[in-house]
Homo-oligomer: A and B are copies of this chain.
């Protein structure tokens, strides 16, 4: 695994990477403690402000770090990181330091205290925007405040969870721009 160079992109463009539904690694930091969790329950909610909703179960060690700090980084791993993604999802930050255990590099984010994960394809730095559904559904609405993405590959081989330990890897790209009304693009 290696650290990947990124360039900054507009926060309104994050649907490009999150709407296809990949598994992400959410990193967080609060009072000297950092953690990372694997997360598959998220959705884009708005372009401007750039909103993303995520379910972070209260049983996760990350839940309190995210809730108390009001921040996180949504990192986008690719298939090369799949075994790490699974191991991160099957261990708890209450017991181990997942960064050192799994060889992930925590690097400073631009606008939040939560670290970015250097080995991922993209980082979306988030601030808690609305916690109205946190108590009832563990559902956090974040605003993406900075976004950085690797220049290549254009189409990262993201992983998508099917349950029962199985993952789908992002496949072929099809272009249907010709069928769109211009204002829908």
Q: Tell me whether A127 is interfacial, beta carbon within 8 Å.
A: no
Residues in A111-157 with C-beta less than 8 Å from chain B: 130, 132-133, 136-137, 139, 141, 155, 157
On chain B, the residues within 8 Å of A53 by CB distance are: 43, 53, 139
A171 with B174: in contact, given A21-B160, A164-B185 (CB under 8 Å)?
no
Q: In whole Å, how far is A107's beta carbon from the nearest beta carbon of chain B?
A: 26
Stretch at the interface among A25-33, A80-88, A93-101: A80-88
The number of times this chain is found in the oligomer is: 2
What band does the interface of chain A fall in when counting residues whose beta carbon is under 8 Å from B? Answer: 35 or more
Q: In whole Å, how far is A10's beta carbon from the nearest beta carbon of chain B?
A: 12
Q: What is A's interface to B at a CB cutoff of 8 Å?
A: 13, 15-16, 19-22, 40-46, 51, 53-55, 79, 82-83, 86-87, 89-90, 130, 132-133, 136-137, 139, 141, 155, 157, 159-181, 184-185
